[in-house]
Structure 1
Amino acid sequence: MAWAYDDSEAIQEAIRAAAAAQTPLCIRGGSTKAFYGRQPHGKPLEVSKHRGITSYEPTELVITARAGTPLAEIEALLAEQGQMFAFEPPYFGPQATLGGLVACGLSGPRRPYGGAVRDMVLGVQIINGKGQILRFGGQVMKNVAGYDISRLMVGSLGTLGVLLEISLKVLPRPTREITLSQERDAQNAIRLFNVWANQPLPLSACAFDGEQLYVRLSGSEETLRAARNKMGGDILSDDTLFWEKVREHTHVFFQRSTQPLWRWSVPATTPPIDLPGEWKIGWGGAQRWFRSELTAEIIRAAAEDVGGYATLFRGKDHTGEVFHPLPPALMALHHRLKQAFDPHRILNPGRMYREL
């Protein structure tokens, strides 16, 4: 039986003490994504002891677990029931937790076709910067109680509250999957990704590594056969390992260079971007991984020119700004949210932006 423990009282007490002393806290779970965002600082607040699956209804396609629950434990249970997280979350280490998954809001190759983390969060329980335990949302998709605060926690990197418990929607696993590959240049790979996306094809992942285009298809035997005949390409052997390497950044593209790694989000139809460096394309063209020593100013200006934005994902000095600068009105909204949830600015201060 998996280990379960409710550590909410100890976490709440630590936050109340920090609020009284105005001591910054650095929230720690599995620490597999500690590289993401600006350099964390403050007194460590360990939350990994708060763990355990509290509710799972396979027939309702909903699972609820404490934030410190290992992601591997949850996905193993889902697999036993033929279910999965639709967004195919990256681990970046065996200690990955559910709370880290939600706090970072990162999704894997299936995201454009199965949905993002935010799309699947139904409800959360958190402790805010005042030490108050709050619950938002529930265990159903429809929530008309007002602002969807539960989804606001996704990607907030712990700056608004310490996650205690999360309810998420899950989906059935596909009956079968294959991956097709074919040699293309970047221009044609992007074109095909967008052509296929507008057709009734069972797409579940797309990637281009500079030489080869890869497309994963999910569905019944008959559906996959018809799609392959229409799309062409060779079946990739051991495709499960291939997509795991893409998801976990152990693919050769992510390993062969020590240059800073940037994550671009752009319109899927954006043609190849003319900047010196190495590129890898994902999410059917909407996600571009870029390795380069170019300055942040040049990279972000180029991203804005094509209607996108760029985030420094790994490498370089993370004491500076990592995320794309926000327009003044949006930054003002972030300030108001921070003031409402964490008025003493003790929860992961500066982890997203220096002034937050």
Structure 2
Amino acid sequence: NTKYTVTVIDGVTKCVSIDSAVVNVKDIPSIQIGDTTICEGGSAALFADGTGTFLWTPPTGLNDPHISNPIASPDETTTYIVSATNGCFTVLDTVTVFVDTSPVTHLADTIICPGESVQFDQIVIDGVVYVWAPNDYLSNNVVANPVATPDESITYILSATTALGCEFFDTVTIEVDEITVFAGEDTTIYFSDTAQLSSDGSGNFVWTPADHLSCADCGDPLAYPLTTTEYIVTYINENGCSASDNIVVYVIGPCAVPFGIPNAFSPNNDGINDAFSLISFSPVFTGSLSVYNRWGQLVHESFNIYEGWDGLYKGEPAEMGSYVYIIRYQCEGEAVILKGSFILVR
């Protein structure tokens, strides 16, 4: 700043008049700032040294773009331009705030069936350290994508630390669908009576064998077996998980099936299971035995229930595979028909 003085002398009167003025010279403003790095979700204070009126652009992520030291919290790497003006001069500078973004891929919660596994699906980034906690049921808890095979529902926390030291977290819950099914207690019925089977649930049911059931794909079929039968119910819920249970329906009475029926035979002349024959119990009934192949052709028929099939069809060895039998006999004036299948092996 400089002070100037002016003196005026009147040439006639010789009077003197003095005045002064100060000229203030404004300095050129200066800005000195440096780039910085923050973690995603973090913030940094920016400092612009110097005097004047400041303006930061863009204002995105700044708490106040009109001060010399705003707080910057950008969501992504951003370059700011700062201007300083003192009325005479305007100077500019730039600063870049680098954002170390999260390497974590958000994982959706999932439901699995008992005994199933799930592998996480993180995008692997070099230099990132991954740690899963707890490490229960994990193939490896210090890799990006371990395999989890939990026995129970569990929530995992993932910690991912970048090369710059930023630490990020995410959680994922694996729900184990603890599906169960109960077919009921074993029961006993008199021949020609029915037994009410039942199983709770809102999914799909499959009962096997399907023979002598009012329905094989419902939760509560009526069973009217002609012989003691073990039924197995498989329940599949809306998540695709399944569970099974069994129930035995014991059949008693004089018309209960008086023989055993094999489920396979091997007609290879080795003296063991060479014929499809019924095992006779007491009492002995008269009736017929018919055997059909998979195309519905009658390959054997005998009017003696206990006369077995030797595996020949038109004098030639029948093909290996599944066959259907139909047994008809009379008991106390009632016609009884048994149907089932068996396998021919060689």
What TM-score, normalized to structure 1?
0.22
- Choose between structure 1 and 2: higher strand proportion: 2
Which has the bigger relative contact order, CA under 8 A and spacing at least 6? 1
- Choose between structure 1 and 2: higher helix proportion: 1
Q: Which has the larger radius of gyration?
A: 2
What TM-score, normalized to structure 2?
0.23
